[in-house]
Amino acid sequence: MFSVASERRDRYTQGVFNSLSGGETSLIETLTLRSVALPANRLLVGEGEVGNSLYQITHGWAYRYRNCADASRQILDFLLPGELVGLGAALLGVTDHSVRTLTPLRAGAIDARLVGEAFRAEPALALRLGRYVAAEAERVAELLTMVGCGDAVKRLAFLMLSLYRRQARQGHIDPLNAPFPLRRQHMADALGLTGAHINRTLNRLRQDGIAIVENRRLSIRDLPRLTALVEITAT
């Protein structure tokens, strides 16, 4: 499940504005509008909105989700510092999901015209943005595959491992003390499980000495065993 392709995909999403040319940097700076600061659990983007800005998260976490007819929700993805919000909407003209802050969050708002201007004047930047959208979609597909193919233990192991590895690719993260600001309901809504099922599964991973979630931190006590839980489903 976690392959060289996954690592390359995450580089596309986490480093989209790294190592820019002078023209690319100038274009982004010209179209950067303002800084946004929000507390936790605030709506950043609403489903169905038209003409939204594009955001780059500088601090904090957010998540993308869709509401269901029965008032439940399906979390599609979690968004980390350095990643973009609203790029798909900038391409399609309308937002097909909502984005809510998971923690206190700061982001830079960028005029969505960046996408069109990049295709017109900076094709290398346009390619970066296109790869970002493709990589983001692949990450959602990977989560959906695990939800469809894995039991509760494998689903939760996948979520822990994927979020830990995404952070580790950005810089040094201690696997015994990694940020993990998800509450039980966030995990449940991302993995298609109930809150009670999440609690039982967390207790099992703790009792087996594999991983512990406590005080919004993740402590991976046995990284090879956690990885093996995920890879079993991928064979």
What's residue 71's pLDDT?
Answer: 80
Torsion angles phi and psi, residue 178, rounded to 5? -100, 140
What's residue 235's pLDDT?
Answer: 40
Task: Give domain limits for the chain.
Answer: 4-139, 150-234
Long-range CB contacts (within 8 A, 24+) of 134-141: 134/12, 135/9, 135/10, 135/12, 135/13, 136/13, 136/77, 136/87, 136/88, 138/9, 139/9, 139/10, 139/13, 139/77, 140/76, 140/77
Per-block mean pLDDT, blocks of 10 residues, the chain (235 long): 55 69 87 91 86 86 92 93 88 84 95 88 90 91 92 96 93 94 97 96 97 97 95 54
Q: State pLDDT tens for residues 5-36.
A: 565 555 555 667 777 888 888 888 888 878 99
Structure tokens at 120: 């017109």
What's residue 68's pLDDT?
Answer: 85
What's residue 96's pLDDT?
Answer: 82
Q: CATH topology for 4-139?
A: Jelly Rolls (2.60.120)
Q: State pLDDT tens for residues 184-213.
A: 999 999 999 999 999 999 999 999 999 999
Q: What is the CATH class of 150-234?
A: mainly alpha
On whether the pTM is more than 0.75, the answer is: yes
What's residue 227's pLDDT?
Answer: 95
